[in-house]
Amino acid sequence: MIFASFEFLFLFLPLFFAVYFLTPFRLRNWPMLLFSWAFYAWWRIDFLLLLIAVTVFTWLVARAMDSADPRSSAGWRWMLFGVVGNVAVLAYFKYANFGVATFNQLIGAAGHAPVAWAEIVLPIGLSFYVLQSVSYLVDVARGVVPVNRDFLNYATYKAIFAQLIAGPIVRYAEIEQELKYRHHSLAQFGAGARIFMIGFAMKTALADTLSPLVDAAFTLATPNLADAWLGATAYTLQLYFDFAGYSLMAIGLARTIGFHFPQNFDNPYLSGSIQDFWQRWHMTLSRFLRDYLYFPLGGNRKGPGRTYVNLMTIMAIGGLWHGSSWNFIFWGILHGGMLAAHRWWSRRPGARPMPFALGNALTMLGVLIGWVLFRAKDIGTALSMYAGMLGLHGTGSHGAGSHGIGLSDALAWQATPDRLWFIPIAIFFIYLPLLQGRRASAPALPRTGWTAALPVIAPLAGFVLAIVLLYSRDAVPFLYFQF
């Protein structure tokens, strides 16, 4: 079950709200937990058992840390045991296939028979709820949060369906008090519903409309110049509106029931540098990598050379976290290299800030090039797309005059007017905050009539449009469900 589906919108969610708000407050974590487990079991009930097992394991380890004193050497050993146990689960399900495939390639090149291996299915959401476990155990060991002795509260924290599948990566400290008491009001419910509708429209109206075009472009054997750039641009937009839309839906759903999740996106495509981009994109992951890996490795405190190595290492790990393939590792290394280059450039003697327009253009070019690696099914597909972006595959069978942009026959049939029009619409919404910033000093319009109603009418209109579009086509899974 996904948020952008009729089962969720008109079956699961109304039933959950009815049971949740009819339950006495002191017992509301029970419907929260049980409905969240049911939400997860909708996909595969056997992997619900894995979620429960990871939850119980982490809770028991934290209790053992508490008994031994979390900040003692024994407490730290328990913490290390819990972290290794969680990471081992992630490694088995997420990287065993990749490891065996790589090993078979190596021994195959040496003339040996491959190792027999049955493909392991990756449980959805595993990457996210394992990171939650790690952050909880480390924060307990650091004394940032107390050990939660109430299993119901901790299990609820792990399983809240709003963020269970694809984040944001919510740390225990961020909702510790709301697990015990949270405020409910009609105004807060309405604010959460509005956030949800905006995210739903971003996902269904923008991201999903571009999905067929992206899929077609990345399956071309020899994309030409127009094919490759159109496909890469469409995916750059699709990924943002898909994942940022999911994050807003998660944040909005949580707000309706009294939880305040952290922001996960802050207009990342308006960044003036690659460093700025990573402070705005998937912010909860960026903070996790910074606080639990980059700083412990020394951060930028041990000289420029060590800083560059740390940046490359952390981003390579971040790439591998996204998926078990060389594409993601190289994608992480690419971003680590860009971060290191930006740090070196900005710290040169006499260095001046780059103009925003130039910085944004260079940043988006680097990000777009990286997204090709992120989306391609393997390195060969990525290299073929890059060759197309450089014009090395020619102009296609239709020539440069086809549809005015030189698309090949293989992609032209997917480049329907509605999909092509949604590209400038999506770009407009990305850069809209810049236009709003220009009007910040202008006299404010009277907050009456349509002006006052616009913040409510616009999300509602977008939501209705998204519902109509959802009815007219199959639901598209969230992209980050695959990571």
For the annotated catalytic residues, the residue numbers are 322
359 close to 273: Cβ distance less than 8 angstroms: yes
SS3 262: coil
Residue whose pair of structure tokens reads 């790690």 in the numeric block: 134
422 close to 206: Cβ distance less than 8 angstroms: yes
User: How far is Cα 204 from Cα 209, in angstroms, rounded to an integer?
Assistant: 7
Q: Which two tokens stand for residue 60?
A: 């028991």
Q: Which two tokens stand for residue 383?
A: 């290299």
Helix 225-256 / helix 379-389 crossing angle, nearest 10 deg: 120
Residue 2: closest CA among 207, 170, 307: 207
459 close to 197: Cβ distance less than 8 angstroms: yes
User: How far is Cα 41 from Cα 57, in angstroms, rounded to an integer?
Assistant: 19
User: How far is Cα 367 from Cα 356, in angstroms, rounded to an integer?
Assistant: 16
For 186, what's the count of Cα atoms within 13 Å in the CB-facing half-sphere?
0
How many CB atoms lie under 10 A from the CB of residue 364? 19
